[in-house]
Homo-oligomer: A and B are copies of this chain.
Amino acid sequence: MTSETLKEIGKKLNISRFTVARVLKNDKYVSKKTRALVLKYLKKTPYVPNAHSTMLSSGKVNVLGLVFFGGVSMLTEFYAQETIKGVSEAAKRKGYQLMLFTQDKFDSFECLKLYMSRLVAGFILPSIGKENFKYVLELKRKKVPLVLICSHLKGVSSFGCDNVVGGYLATKYLLDSGRKRIASLCGHKNWIDAADRLEGYKKALEERGKQLIKEYVQHDYGYDSYDSYDNYEEMAVKKLLALKEPPDAIFTANDKMAFAIISLLKKAGRNIPRDIAVVGYDNVPICEDFSPSLSTVAQPIKDMAFAAAESLIKIISSGKTKDYTRFFKPELIIRQSA
């Protein structure tokens, strides 16, 4: 079933399509009689305008593009789900539609083409890494409306959460609860969020006058930031436990790693949190039911995504690229694991 066109409706009612359009627009220059005639007809046969026609003639596109990269598997990440939720809500509230794209690596040229084809009016780009900043700036230079989530780039509206503070909070808590030897699994070095979390970790140690012990900081040397070693956690745990002074606490840059190492530590006969405390990052839903339930740092990703989408809509509809950058605060959530 496809909607009738204005022309067809007009023909049926023996008036011009423009008059029908006027009634639809609530234009006051329509006689009562004609208006009544049209409204009566529309009640029976709802009219739905052709969106492409509208976009073409008005030049306005009410579709937001949300781009995930790192392959479709990225969609399993908690932040991706929360991002979709926040963006969906904002879009719906403002009458925008959401188009979802997945790319293996961030492909700014593809984004540019999507924008030039007018399929989307702008982009929400979550978790752009440093290595892609130059491409984002290039898009911006080409006047493509865009906003960032979970990363911060000067000159582009960014909606991030302070990862340094997050890492600091987690580490400080571990220190406050009496832990002496705190290790960190901080993932791949190109992962900018993790680098900031590590910086917060360092800051907390420094504040207590504690020396940073190199062996306690376990990086992932996988191929690239989207593709870690399969057995990164396994290797890290092995190395840490083999140390002369193994850690009595571990802070991981995300919950997934935390679950993995808890599982491994248990197998190695360690009790969590008695022998080793663990704090994760993200607050994914399963934290609650895991055993021990996972202490972690929560980020308001959904709110960030909502704010980002709202701002993008403002940029699109105003045509001005004002900077709406806003930082959100992470929150430490204490459970059993630390």
Distance between Cα atoms of A89 and B74 in the complex (Å) = 13
From B50, B89, B119, B289, give the contact of A117 (CB < 8 A).
B50
CB distance from A90 to the nearest CB of B (A): 11
Closest B residue to A68 by beta carbon equals B88
B102 near A99 (CB under 8 angstroms)? no
From B50, B73, B144, B266, give the contact of A85 (CB < 8 A).
B73
A285 near B51 (CB under 8 angstroms)? no
Query: For residue A288, which residues in chain B have a CB less than 8 angstroms away from its CB?
Result: 263
Query: For residue A55, which residues in chain B have a CB less than 8 angstroms away from its CB?
Result: 52
Pull 16 A–B residue pairs with CB atoms less than 8 Å apart, ordered by A. Answer: A1-B115, A48-B113, A52-B56, A53-B56, A56-B56, A63-B99, A76-B81, A76-B85, A80-B81, A81-B81, A88-B102, A99-B100, A263-B288, A263-B290, A286-B290, A290-B291
CB-CB under 8 A for A117 and B49, given A75-B81, A76-B285, A98-B100? yes
A1 near B56 (CB under 8 angstroms)? no
A201 adjacent to chain B (CB < 8 Å): no
Query: For residue A52, which residues in chain B have a CB less than 8 angstroms away from its CB?
Result: 51-53, 55-56, 61, 118
CB-CB under 8 A for A85 and B99, given A1-B116, A51-B119, A263-B291? no
A97 adjacent to chain B (CB < 8 Å): yes
Distance between Cα atoms of A259 and B286 in the complex (Å) = 8
B72 near A97 (CB under 8 angstroms)? no
A260 adjacent to chain B (CB < 8 Å): yes
CB-CB under 8 A for A143 and B100, given A51-B118, A259-B289, A289-B259? no
A43 adjacent to chain B (CB < 8 Å): no
A317 adjacent to chain B (CB < 8 Å): no
| Contact mask for chain A residues 55-81; partner B; CB cutoff 8 A; 1 contact, 0 none | 110000101000000001101100011
